[in-house]
Structure 1
Amino acid sequence: MTDGLEIRPVRGIGDITAGDDLASQIADAAPWLADGDVLVVTSKIVSKAEGRLVEVPADGPEREEARAAALVSETARVVAQRGPTTIVQTHHGFVMAAAGIDASNVDKTHLVLLPVDPDESARKLRADFKARGLGVSVIVSDTMGRTWRNGLTDVALGAAGIEPFRDHRGETDPYGNELQITQMAIIDELAAAGELVKGKCDQVPVAVVRGLGTPSSDGAGAVALLRDAESDMFSLGTAEARAAGLRDAAVLPDGSQLALPGTAVDPAAVSRALSTVAELLAHGTEVTPAEVFPGNGATAALHVACPGNSPAAFMRLGADVHRLRVALAAEGIPSVPLPHDDGVRLDLSGS
């Protein structure tokens, strides 16, 4: 808990070029810096100092081609595309528009890429200030959009001298409830606060937050904020999710996945699955309940039949059965196809 924070802009930092000493530039522009201050430094000036620039034509289709090539080089995977907007995961693990490549606040013949290792950039800048006798923390920030929310905000790409989280897990709230998942992303909050005094057109690339407390060791860095693939419920873009679904449909397993035979099936889910394929089934294919669960009357099995016994009829039957099994699987209902008189019986189980 702090008594309050002060956020101050650092004005007067000139244009940064490759090889510049950022600590010197910032210290000269802010002689009032003190131990315990948190520097929120726009990633763009870090990238410029580190020479993370790509030369491109000033205009014309060649410029767009060069920008597209830069995007490819900075992309680990494409998450989503719509119109001119491409959301990608960078090699750092950040998910952001255009891999963070920026054409603002730089001459028209260059694009600015993100720092190669923003955490290392923050550690180096902090060490440079320490060599000057100042114990400060450093956050390297950049602007991002947020899923499901309009507008932009600054977030932390790199950090040193400050822990990325304020972890409340295990604490008790005023009502006696134990907090179990509350981890505040402190460095993101400070990055956004710093943007309030920096702005995009004022050429103020550094803000100072004062009052948070004495800097710690380098800390875990901003990399700790990246959610791993196993716990990321939204890691796939639309196209990726659709492709993954089609692959799952292609390898939909038989019998072994019917783990709990006889468990209740949601009748509404079966109805939705049937509605999904209703307009796609071959002419003459009929799907009827073959059995119900005792007690709740839910469908326990379906009978899929089609007229005729020619090879073509059997091919249509197989295709229809697979469509129905995929639709059922999408509703969380495993099924086992079994031969049955003039068609196929699908035994169902709740998941």
Structure 2
Amino acid sequence: MSIELDAPDGIGEVRPGADLAAMIATALELRDGDVVVVTSKVVSKAEGRLTDGTRDDALPGETVRVVARRGPVTIVENRLGLVMAAAGIDNSNVAPGTVALLPADPDGSARAIRALLRESTGRNVAVVISDTSGRAWRLGQTDIAIGVAGLAPLEPFAGRVDAYGNPLAVTEPAVADEIAAAAELAGGKLAGRPLVRVRGLDDRVLPPGEDGPGARSVVRPREQDLFSLGAREAVVAAVAGDDPGAFGPPATAHEVGAALARCGLHVGPTDSGLVVDTAHPAAVTRAALVARAHGWVIEPGSPTSRLSIPVAANEEP
């Protein structure tokens, strides 16, 4: 198998109102089964998603919630559901004093470009809109897909077996992200090549009229996110009594008991949950915070308090 990347030079500056589909059709010779990767920056420019000021000025309007803040770095969930530094607002490759916001609807933009390319060239291609993103556990950045049309962004392997006969349960390659990252190698951050044609993935391109679920389908639901809050922010959320959904589904009695014991509390089991020694007034507060962070509730008593999972949390959805 071989995959070919082609990133043409000479695209030039993209202005608000630019016809990106026409620009792509002129810059790239397309065949059925090609994947066209377009950087979010040029999509934002074409759609007029530029604003005067700094990233800090634009950040509140693009933020749904703050995930973590350390010094000058603010990681937030933006209105697209993406967790990114500064909501993905960028001040590179734009005029000084100006910042670029991410496209308002990247999946919609990808679908529109795909349809226009089909109309103007007769070719059935997929479109990926890419953006640069950091990784929680690794240094550096890589490009990811924030908009996808004509391509399944994930390839579930659940139910398959490997060469040794081992069943696969959670393997799910992020195909669209992998394509975006590969395209960045050809396009480059500073090379002025915002369009990349990826050839050799014909079997992954969907038929005309089938755009697929889009990149939004790749965003992990908050209740499944083990790191939906930074370490400091999680402490504040527990103390403030924020939405317990931030801490995920209720933990097991064993997990809660271990956490309470680690905090210096004496815990014992009961038929309906746990009982903790709260004879000391401070122990009630400590136990309540630990319980809240684990999806449990505490019913203070003297000299012990009972902890249990809320009834609503046990109900079938």
Answering whether residue 217 of structure 2 is matched by residue 224 of structure 1, we say yes
CA displacement at 1:325 relative to structure 2: 3.0
Kept after mapping to 2: 8 A contact 1:336/1:346: no
Question: In structure 1, what is the equivalent of residue 89 of structure 2?
Answer: 101
Q: Within 1, Cα distance between the matches of 2:293 and 2:237?
A: 16
Task: Output one character per residue of 1:284-305: Cα deviation in whole Å (capped at 9) or x when no partner.
Answer: xxxxx8x999xxxxx987484x
SS in 1 for 2:173: strand
SS in 2 for 1:183: coil
Q: CA distance change for structure 1 residues 118 and 274 in 2, over 3 Å: closer, same or farther?
A: same
Q: CA distance change for structure 1 residues 324 and 28 in 2, over 3 Å: closer, same or farther?
A: closer
Amino acid at match of 1:273: C
Question: In structure 2, what is the equivalent of residue 165 of structure 1?
Answer: 154
Question: Following superposition of structure 1 onto structure 2, how do residues 124-163 of structure 1 map, counting pairs within 5 Å?
Answer: 124-132=112-120, 133-163=122-152
Question: In structure 2, what is the equivalent of residue 122 of structure 1?
Answer: 110
Q: CA distance change for structure 1 residues 34 and 246 in 2, over 3 Å: closer, same or farther?
A: same
Answering whether residue 42 of structure 2 is matched by residue 45 of structure 1, we say yes
Note the aligned Cα RMSD (angstroms).
3.1
Kept after mapping to 2: 8 A contact 1:78/1:86: yes
SS in 1 for 2:48: coil
Task: Output one character per residue of 1:160-198: Cα deviation in whole Å (capped at 9) or x when no partner.
Answer: 011111111111112222212221110000000000011
Unaligned runs of 5+ in 1: 57-63, 252-258, 276-288, 294-298, 305-316, 339-343
Kept after mapping to 2: 8 A contact 1:13/1:26: no
Kept after mapping to 2: 8 A contact 1:40/1:138: yes
Q: CA distance change for structure 1 residues 327 and 90 in 2, over 3 Å: closer, same or farther?
A: closer
Q: Within 2, Cα distance between the matches of 1:109 and 1:80?
A: 26
Question: Following superposition of structure 1 onto structure 2, how do residues 268-347 of structure 1 map, counting pairs within 5 Å?
Answer: 272-274=262-264, 302=277, 304=279, 317=280, 319-323=281-285, 325-326=287-288, 329=291, 338=301, 344-346=302-304
Amino acid at match of 2:51: V
Q: Residue 71 of structure 1: which of 52, 56, 59 is its match?
A: 59
Kept after mapping to 2: 8 A contact 1:10/1:26: no
Amino acid at match of 1:207: V
Q: Within 2, Cα distance between the matches of 1:228 and 1:146?
A: 17
After TM superposition, the score normalised by the length of structure 1 is 0.73
Identity rate, percent? 44
Q: CA distance change for structure 1 residues 37 and 234 in 2, over 3 Å: closer, same or farther?
A: same
Kept after mapping to 2: 8 A contact 1:335/1:346: no
Amino acid at match of 2:303: R
Report the count of equivalent residues. Answer: 290
CA displacement at 1:19 relative to structure 2: 0.9
Q: Quick check: 148-157 or 79-88, which moved more?
A: 79-88
Kept after mapping to 1: 8 A contact 2:288/2:297: no
Unaligned runs of 5+ in 2: 245-251, 310-317
Kept after mapping to 1: 8 A contact 2:15/2:46: yes
Please identify the structure whose Cα radius of gyration is greater: 1
SS in 1 for 2:107: helix
